[in-house]
């Protein structure tokens, strides 16, 4: 679909890098801004908007600034005539997604322009753009495959790959390899004591009462002024997650779930990671056994509470009248 640009066009710049680390240390976004702005100046276009995506994959459209830009481009007041990118891969790395959004923009009179891949709208150049998009998509998928392979090997060697650390652990710099710093997971002595206290409260209580349930532990910690790393109150779900996490007996793993779908991966793809234990296995197993025993899914009906008196008691069959 052809979109004819006015002589003096209003341009929106879209600038993107794939990861937050690139956004923090790379010059890519400033360079994209400089080059796209210079291109607009040469064309006589005025830059009226800028959308910056610092650390987002272009394999899908789950990008805040990208969606904000598309929605604005679709508004009836026609805020800009052209979206300018350094290359089509900055806009989208999925061939189907690229074409879909180009057509959506065209319906609103907005054209997508790549300053390094200047292509028109005749059939031959549209086909060339689609071929470029296919290569971009292939390259992105290949890069992702190689990155995952490198991260697996990093995990096999016992190094940290960047996921959120469980309570009780911190990081230690081990060595430098080029510009990268290798780190290992070690025990945080202060947080580890809090973890051990949670398990002790569940098994023995605080010395003034018997063993505590998860709700009682949560209330106890919050009342004593304990807070999460983010300074928030503890919740029941957080405490349950800690009490059931095998990382505290030295069992952790990498590549357990898909980062995109969240689905559990086959066991042969999971990489076990060696971490120092905070608890002994006997204590951990006793807590798991107690949790299973208290689970409503495993408790017999007669011990499940309900709003009606005698809930859960077996009902004797009524004898038939003679």
Residues 6+ apart with CB under 8 A from 62: 56
Q: How many CA atoms lie within 13 A of 111 on its CB side?
A: 17
pTM of the predicted model, to two decimals?
0.54
Structure confidence at residue 304 (pLDDT): 46
Query: Range(s) for CATH 3.90.1750.20 in the chain?
Result: 169-296
User: By mean pLDDT, which of 11-15, 36-40, 183-187, 306-310 is the weakest?
Assistant: 306-310
Mean pLDDT, residues 229-254 taken together: 92
pLDDT tens by residue, 152-189: 887 788 788 877 889 999 998 888 777 778 888 899 99
61 within 8 A of 55, measured Cβ to Cβ? no
Cβ atoms 81, 6 nearer than 8 A: yes
Report which of residues 65 and 306 the model is more confident about.
Answer: 65
Q: What is the pLDDT of residues 252-268, one digit of tens each?
A: 887 777 766 677 778 78
Distance CA(56)–CA(62), nearest Å, equals: 8
Cβ neighbours, 10 Å, residue 163: 11
* Percentage of the chain exceeding pLDDT 70: 82
Asked whether 123 and 2 are in contact (CB, 8 A), the reply is no
Structure confidence by residue, pLDDT tens digits, 20-74: 555 444 558 899 999 999 999 999 999 999 999 887 777 778 889 999 999 999 9
> What is the model's pLDDT at position 89?
86
Give dist(CA 46, CA 131) in Å, integer.
30
Supply the pLDDT for residue 23.
45
Q: HEC states along the chain?
A: CCCCCCCCCEEEEEEEECCHHHHHHCCHHHHHHHHHHHHHHHHCCEEEEEEEEECCCCCCCCCHHHHHHHHHHCCCCCCCCEEEECCHHHHCCCHHHHHHHHHHHHHCCCEEEECCCCCCCCHHHHHHHHHHHHHHHHHHHHHHHHHHHHHHHHHHCCCCCCCCCCCCEEEEEEEEECCEEEEEEEECHHHHHHHHHHHHHHHCCCCCCCCCCHHHHHHHHHHCCCCCCCCCCCCHHHHHHHHCCHHHHCEEEECCECCCCCCECCHHHCEEEECCCCCCHHHHHHHHHHHHHHCCCCCCHHHCCCCCCCCCCCCCCCCCCC
Any idea which architecture 169-296 has in CATH? Alpha-Beta Complex (3.90)
Report, at the CATH architecture level, how domain 10-141 is classified: 3-Layer(aba) Sandwich (3.40)
Q: Where in the chain is the domain with CATH 3.40.50.1390?
A: 10-141
Average pLDDT of the residues of the chain: 82
Q: For position 110, what pLDDT does the model report? A: 93
Q: Mean pLDDT throughout 284-295?
A: 91
């Amino acid at each position: 679909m052809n979109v004819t640009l006015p002589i003096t066009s209003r341009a929106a710049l879209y600038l993107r890098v794939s990861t937050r680390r690139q956004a923090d240390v790379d010059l890519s976004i400033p360079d994209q801004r400089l080059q796209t702005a210079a291109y607009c100046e040469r064309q006589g276009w005025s830059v009226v908007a800028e959308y910056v995506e610092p650390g987002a994959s272009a394999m899908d459209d789950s990008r805040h600034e990208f969606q904000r830009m598309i929605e604005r481009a679709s508004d009836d007041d026609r805020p800009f005539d052209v979206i300018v990118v350094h290359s089509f891969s900055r806009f989208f790395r999925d061939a189907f997604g690229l074409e879909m959004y180009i057509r959506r923009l065209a319906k609103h009179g907005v054209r997508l322009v790549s300053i390094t891949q200047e292509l028109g709208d005749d059939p031959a150049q549209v086909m060339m753009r689609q071929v470029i998009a296919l290569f971009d998509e292939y390259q992105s998928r290949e890069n992702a495959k190689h990155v995952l392979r490198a991260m697996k090997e990093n995990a096999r060697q016992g190094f940290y790959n960047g996921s959120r650390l469980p309570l009780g652990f911190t990081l230690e710099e081990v060595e430098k390899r080029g510009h990268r710093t290798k780190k290992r997971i070690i025990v945080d002595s202060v947080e580890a004591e809090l973890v051990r206290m949670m398990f002790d409260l569940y098994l023995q209580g605080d010395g003034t009462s018997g063993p505590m349930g998860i709700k009682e532990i949560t209330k106890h910690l919050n009342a004593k002024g304990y807070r999460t790393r983010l300074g928030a109150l503890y919740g029941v779900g957080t405490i349950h997650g800690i009490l059931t996490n095998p990382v505290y007996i030295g069992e952790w793993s990498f590549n357990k779930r898909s980062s995109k779908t969240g689905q559990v991966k086959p066991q042969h793809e999971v990489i076990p990671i060696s971490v120092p234990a905070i608890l002994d296995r006997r204590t951990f197993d006793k807590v798991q056994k107690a949790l299973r025993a208290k689970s409503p899914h495993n408790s017999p009906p007669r011990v499940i509470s309900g709003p009606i008196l005698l809930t859960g008691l077996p009902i004797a069959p009524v004898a038939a009248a003679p």
